[in-house]
Amino acid sequence: MNFSEIKKRADEEWRQLQESDKPTLYIGAATCGRSAGALDVRMSFENALSEKNIDYNVVEVGCLGPCWAEPLISVQKPGGPNIFYRNVTPKIAAEIVNEYVAGDDPLPKYALGLVGDKKGYDIPELWELPPFKTQERILFRNFGFIDPTNINHYIANDGYSGLQKALSMKQMDVVEEVKKSGLRGRGGGGFPAGRKWEAGLVSKEKIKYVVCNADEGDPGAFMDRSVLEGEPHSVLEGMIIAGYTIGAQVGYIYVRAEYPLAVQRLQNAIKQANEMGFLGKNILGSGFDFEIRIFQGAGAFVCGESTALTLSIEGKRGMPKASPRPRTTEEGLFDKPTLLNNVKTFSYVPQIINNGGEWMARIGTEKSKGTAVFALTGMVNNCGLIEVPMGMTIREIIYEIGGGIVDDKPFKAVQTGGPSGGCLPADFLDTPVDYDSLLEAGSMMGSGGMVIMDENTCMVEIARYFLDFTQKESCGQCTLCKLGTKQMLDILEDIVAGKGQPDDVRMLVEIGESVNEGSLCGLGQAAANPVLTTIKYFQEEYEAHINDKKCPALACTELISYQIDPEKCGGCTICAKICPVDAITGVKKEVHILDQEKCVKCGMCFEKCPKKYRAVECVSLGIQEGGE
């Protein structure tokens, strides 16, 4: 079957779904939706529809992006708009069926927004809402709207059109389009993709490989997982185009085994692509052969480095090779030329080929083209996946898309780029989000994480937290990375425990700079960044911990205590009931007592004390008499 026939059949299936005379449920059933209870909600919908003898369509879709709204379910009645309902529970699902599907009330109180003709509905247009209005959805264009397990949904929305076009082009012409687009690798380093593809093409070796890194460290793996769960065929299509371009016949997807749904979706997509003729022998009659294999990794952060990843696929220990080492396009998997990109990079390629490189080059900044994809998290109201044009400022992302800081608390810092990214204070809120601007500020684009911190965040503890992660992920090959990060971690743990010494800050800077300079791979070369940037921008917090034995943010448990103000206590008994170690005693309507010797400083009493009392207080211990 040729591509036009495949496309015609897919378009017809898609048209029938869109014009169906039955209501259609779109269930956000990626991992984030499932963890929030989406499958239970689906069951509730189906039970309620069956009770009313209503025939229906149901489509499980990928993550739309706003994880704060999960479970996110959309309902489309025949001829009506697609209404998205947020934070749906089984009870709300039944109510939507009774009042809207079987009635005329669209229940605006539960709705997030709608797509399509409003027809008088008192519900805002989804794309006009602040969390979506300034986004530029290229990678996420189909997320939340198509069934990732149905190849026809992908084809009907221009899927595999880029491959069909590429197969009619000269290989160097494909490279030129990627170059024109300005696409840079989305795995962290930001190396120009077109130059890497050209290096793979010019190699004279007969055997070459294409490898997709889908096992980056969090939060990169979180976004990779969302792409694989929401539109796996875009990754396959990008890899097939890459294989054709450089002359490879085999591709590997290195995916983390801890993401079973992503693996399942990939396996299904590869099977469908083979059946349709997009993989295998003589693809679309072009004479080009290509197959894709899945390799399940163990979630090792260090395997984000190219040589460690290829060694892991070969069945060896995933450790970066010592410098000087050849580029993977010269000597990679099985010592053969290998084109290695990550999930997001490959996913952009089909649209670049389909629309032309100049189309993407018009988006973004002069040196950073296209969009930036981030996992927005931390103390921000609207957590989730976002896609914005390169050059948007951190302030716009936090306050327009993210909806501002939780409880309107003051912004304190942002960390971008994953566990090795730098922490930037409020002075950098107007920094454009692009490769060069973030590096200049002391952070990086990295794998796409953006962690927002408020006034209650202790920057010393944040540095300790991220260093603890990178120290554990070190492969141990480089002495400075292995021992340097451990020594830094020991110092930080002493500081947050009130045991810091006057020379600790100098030692952290000295060791941190040595670790970054003396490590082989990106993990070690950036491991100290959170420590160095928090010292640079928040040194006063280190000094307070070391000199005064105080945590200004009241976050380090060894330097704080919880107390009950007898003048404010209303004797509601809530704190006594939720205390996990029975450290609080008292009877109803009488002042409660907190036993400091029993208290484990979990903070639950502080969090649950009713606003009308606010009797539980968190206080800094400071320097104790006779103490150190």
Model confidence at 200, pLDDT cuts 50, 70, 90, reads: very high
Q: pLDDT of 264-319, one tens digit each?
A: 999 999 999 999 999 999 999 999 999 999 999 877 778 878 888 999 999 998 88
The identity of residue 359, as a single letter, is: W
Q: What are phi and psi of 412, to 5 degrees?
A: -120, -50
Q: How would you class 210 by CB atoms within 10 Å of its CB: exposed for 0-12, middle for 13-18, buried for 19 or more? A: buried
Question: Between helices 220-230 and 232-246, what is the axis angle to 10°?
Answer: 100
Q: How many residues does the chain have?
A: 628
Cα angle for residues 402, 403, 408 (degrees, 5° grid): 120
Query: 570-587: string of b/e by CB count within 10 Å (b at 16+)?
Result: bebebbbeebeeebbebe
CA distance 145 to 456: 38
How far are the Cα atoms of 321, 324, 512 from residue 479, in angstroms, in the given order? 14, 17, 13
Structure tokens that stand for 95 in this block = 């109510």
Q: Tokens 């003898």 label which residue?
A: 53
Position 417 scores a pLDDT of 85
Identify the top-confidence range among 115-119, 162-166, 527-531, 555-559: 162-166
Q: Tokens 């229906």 label which residue?
A: 56
Structure tokens that stand for 553 in this block = 């943010």
Domains, the chain, ranges and CATH? 3-128 (3.40.30.10), 159-361 (3.40.50.11540), 371-454 (3.10.20.600), 459-548 (1.20.1440.230), 557-620 (3.30.70.20)
Q: Does pLDDT of 623 surpass 70? A: no
Chain-centre distance for alpha carbon 572: 41
Contact yes or no for 379/410 (Cβ under 8 A): no
Range 404-408 average pLDDT: 96
Find all residues with CB under 8 Å of 223, minimum gap 6, and list them: 343, 344, 373, 375, 385, 447, 448
Position 622 scores a pLDDT of 66
The answer to whether the bond into 232 is cis (omega within 30° of 0) is: no
Question: Between helices 220-230 and 343-355, what is the axis angle to 10°?
Answer: 50
CA distance 132 to 140: 12
| pLDDT above 90 coverage of the chain, percent | 83
Find all residues with CB under 8 Å of 503, minimum gap 6, and list them: none
Model confidence at 524, pLDDT cuts 50, 70, 90, reads: confident
Structure tokens that stand for 614 in this block = 């606010």
CA distance 105 to 97: 10
Q: Does pLDDT of 624 surpass 60? A: no
Position 107 scores a pLDDT of 97
Position 158 scores a pLDDT of 96
Query: 306-327: string of b/e by CB count within 10 Å (b at 16+)?
Result: bbbbbbbbeeeebbbbeeeeeb
Q: Is the dihedral of CA 605, 610, 613, 614 positive or negative?
A: positive
Q: pLDDT of 472-510, one tens digit each?
A: 888 888 888 989 999 999 999 999 999 999 999 999 999
Q: What are phi and psi of 180, to 5 degrees?
A: -60, -35
Contact yes or no for 308/520 (Cβ under 8 A): no
Q: Tokens 């939060």 label which residue?
A: 219
Model confidence at 626, pLDDT cuts 50, 70, 90, reads: very low
CA distance 49 to 209: 50
Position 498 scores a pLDDT of 94
138-152, 170-184, 357-371, 516-530: least confident range: 516-530
The identity of residue 420, as a single letter, is: S
Contact yes or no for 183/306 (Cβ under 8 A): no
Range 593-621 average pLDDT: 93
**Nearest-CA neighbor of 520 among 287, 320, 297?**
320
CA distance 29 to 579: 36
Torsion angle, CA of 316/321/325/331, rounded to 10 degrees?
Answer: 10
In 343-418, the DSSP E strands lie at 371-378, 384-389, 411-416
Q: Does pLDDT of 447 surpass 80? A: no
Q: How would you class 170 by CB atoms within 10 Å of its CB: exposed for 0-12, middle for 13-18, buried for 19 or more? A: exposed
- Per the confidence metrics, is the pTM higher than 0.75? yes
